[in-house]
Amino acid sequence: MNSLNIDGGRTLSGEIELSGNKNAILPMIAASILTDQEVTLHNVPDIIDVENMLEIASLLGVEVSRADNSVTLKAANISTTSIPRLLSSKIRTSLLFAGPLLIRCGSAQFWPPGGDVIGRRRLDAHFYGLTTMGAVIVSEYTPFSLKSSALLGKELFFDEASVTATEHIMMTATLAEGVTVIRNAAAEPHVQDLAEFLCSMGAEIKGIGTNTLTITGKEKLHGTEYRVTSDHIEACSFLVMSAITGGELTITGTTPKHYWMMRRVFEKFNIQFSLEADRIYLPGNQELKIKQDLGNAIPVISDGPWPQFPSDMMSCTIVMATQAQGTMLFFEKMFESRIYFVDRLISMGANAIVCDPHRVVISGPAKLKGSEMSSPDIRAGMAMLIAALSAEGHSVIHNADIIFRGYDSLIDKILSLGGLIEKS
C-alpha cells in the first residue's frame, strides 16, 4: 500500500477541472453488457475502482480498450456468468453485473461485494427487486447464485432509497418484459446520469430525477457514445480544501443544480461561492465562522437521500468545522461507522466529542498538528488529507490507495494548487 507525505500550512489556490463521477461510471460499466454492441464512455476517471470494474467486465468476456479518458466496451460474447470472490470483494458495485447477466445469459453467480467499511450496507433491496421480477435464488449463501428464464416488469417499493439498488433494478428493467415502476427510488446525480446513459442506448425511462421511476422494457438496447457527468463529491472536497486554507478556487466542468444543497451547508460556515453555468468560483480569505440557528441554538448538519446533503460529503465537512469559529453538531444518519475517523482528527488537536456512532460535536477553531495515520475509507481518507494540508508540520497517511479508489489525479491537482504532497 502507498502512503502520502504532506507538509501542511500552505494556502491552496488556483483552478482545477473536475473528473468524471466515480459513482456514475461504475454502474455504466456494468450496464454496458446489456447490449452486444459497442459502448464508448468519455470523461472516465483514472481511479482504482474503475480498473476493478473493467477487470470484472473483461473476465466476463467483454472487450475493453482505453484511450486517454475514454473507455470502449463490447460485450458481444459473454464467456462466463460467475464473478470470482477476490474481484467481488474489491468493490461494492461488483454486484451490479448480476441483473445484466440474468438478462443476457439467464444466470449470475457472485460473492458479497466489497467497498468501504462504513457500516452495514444491505443487499436486501437488490434481491427483492430481482426476485419480484422473476429471478430465482439458487443459493442464498455465498457465493450467491441466481437464475431466470425471463424477467417481467413489476411495481416495486424500496424500503430505503438505495442508490445501488435503484441503479441495479433500473438497468435490469430496461430489458424486462413490460413496465417496471420503482417507488422510493434514489435520485442522486449519478443515478440520473446512469438513467440518461441507458436512454442513449434506447431505454425508455420516465421520472428521471424523481423518486418514482417508470421503465418500459425493450427487446434490445444498442451501442452508444456518452460523456460521464462530473463528480460533485470531488468538487466538495476541493472546496473544503481551499476554504480552510484561505484559498481562492475555480472549479470547471460543473452542473449548477448539483450544488444547491452544498451551497446551503457552506453558508452555515459563512463561506460563499458562486455557481455559474459550468464552473464554481470560491473567493479567497473568507472567515470560517459557524452561524448559529435561530434562538442561538447549535446548528446541525445531517445527511440523507438526495437532494439532502450526501453522506459522502460529511467527512470533509467535519474537517472544515475544526477550523471554524463556533460549534456544530454533525448527524450521520446513514452509516454507523463513518464518524469513527474523527479519532484521527482528535489526535491532531481537533476539539471533538463523539456522542455515539452517528453524532459528533465539533468546536473550533483548533490548531491542528501533523500526524501519522491510516485511511479507513475513501471519504475519511480525503478528510484526513485535507486536515493534514491545513495542519502545522508533516503528516503521513498510510493505506492511501483507498483514497485513490475515488479521486483521479489527486496528487497532481493538489500540487497545482500549491500544496506540498508526495506518494511513497
Q: pLDDT tens-digit profile of 17-51?
A: 999 999 999 999 999 999 999 999 999 999 999 99
* Residue 334 confidence class, pLDDT cut points 50, 70, 90: confident
Q: Can you spell out the DSSP letters for 266-322?
A: HHTTT---EE-SSEEEE-SS---BPPPBTTTBPPEEE--STTS--GGGHHHHHHHHH
* Residue 337 confidence class, pLDDT cut points 50, 70, 90: confident
CA distances from 218 to 78, 214, 215, 368 (A): 20, 13, 9, 56
pLDDT of 103 strictly over 50: yes
Domains and CATH numbers, the chain: 4-19+230-423 (3.65.10.10), 22-227 (3.65.10.10)
Predicted pLDDT at 115: 55
Angle at 290 between CA 287 and CA 294, to 5 degrees: 135
Q: Which cell goes with 393?
A: 508540520
pLDDT of 165 strictly over 50: yes
Considering the candidates 49, 116, 312, 377, report the single residue annotated as catalytic: 116
Active site includes 49?
Answer: no
Predicted pLDDT at 121: 60
Predicted pLDDT at 117: 46
What is the mean pLDDT of the segment spanning 120-133?
88
Q: pLDDT tens-digit profile of 269-283?
A: 999 999 999 999 999
Identify the residue whose cell numbers are 484561505: 246
CA distances from 151 to 157, 178, 236 (A): 17, 9, 40
What is the mean pLDDT of the segment spanning 326-337?
90
What is the mean pLDDT of the segment spanning 160-177?
97
Identify the residue whose cell numbers are 450526501: 310
* Residue 78 confidence class, pLDDT cut points 50, 70, 90: very high
DSSP state of 418: T
CA distances from 278 to 17, 119, 423 (A): 10, 35, 31
CA distances from 170 to 123, 165, 258 (A): 15, 8, 21
What is the mean pLDDT of the segment spanning 384-396?
98
Q: Which cell goes with 131?
A: 426476485
How much is the pTM?
A: 0.94
Q: Which cell goes with 195?
A: 438513467
Helix/strand/coil percentages in the chain, nearest 5: 35, 25, 40
* Residue 139 confidence class, pLDDT cut points 50, 70, 90: confident
Average pLDDT, the chain: 95
58 by DSSP, 3-state: which?
Answer: helix
pLDDT of 226 strictly over 80: yes
What is the mean pLDDT of the segment spanning 330-348?
90
Helices (H), 111-178: 124-132, 163-173
pLDDT of 153 strictly over 60: yes
What is the mean pLDDT of the segment spanning 301-322?
96
pLDDT of 332 strictly over 60: yes
* Residue 119 confidence class, pLDDT cut points 50, 70, 90: very low
